[in-house]
Amino acid sequence: MKKLFSIFIVLGILMFSTTCFASAFNEVYFNGNKNYISFDGGMGRIWYVVANTINVQRYNPPEYIIAIDIVQVNPENNTMGRQRTERFLYNYDLQEMYIESYNPENKTYYWEYLKDPEKAVKVHVSSMPISMGEIAFALAYNMSFYKDGPLSWYAQKYFETLK
């Protein structure tokens, strides 16, 4: 009987901690700080764009280049990793978004097209750059990059907080 009681206690603790941990992935802002906006989460990490680092590097409609810093957080102990900068190229008329990538073989940077955003947001791993790019564009111009509204769940949640 004592073992059975112990098992129920342990199961209760596990269920409670899992619920608390999962709720961290539903938060738009890191600890309520609106400077850190989530754009992806999973595998024990949450990713945030750092809003005050937004840097419009090219404004030539319909073409834009925006840089923004991102940071990874471990929600178990609220520790932040090192910030790094990501850059995006947008063509608003064509509704195309690109992320800057690096080729270590020839040590050059290039623009990688983020293909089929409608399909990509359904595939978690490949939707990460799209949600990051959507939020960066929204921070720079206070509007959705995609004419029909944000595609990613994270961008949708961010826009809901602005209402």
Please state, in angstroms and as integers, the Cα–Cα distance from residue 152 to each residue in 40, 54, 127, following that order. Answer: 10, 19, 7
Confidence of residue 127 (pLDDT cuts 50, 70, 90): low
Please state, in angstroms and as integers, the Cα–Cα distance from residue 128 to each residue in 9, 135, 144, following that order. Answer: 37, 11, 16
**Where are the strands (E) in 3-93, listed by range?**
29-30, 33-42, 45-60, 63-74, 79-80, 84-91
Q: In this prediction, what percent of the chain has a pLDDT beyond 70?
A: 77
Q: Determine the residue type at 27.
A: E
Confidence of residue 118 (pLDDT cuts 50, 70, 90): low
pTM: 0.78
Is the CB of residue 37 less than 8 Å from the CB of residue 29?
yes
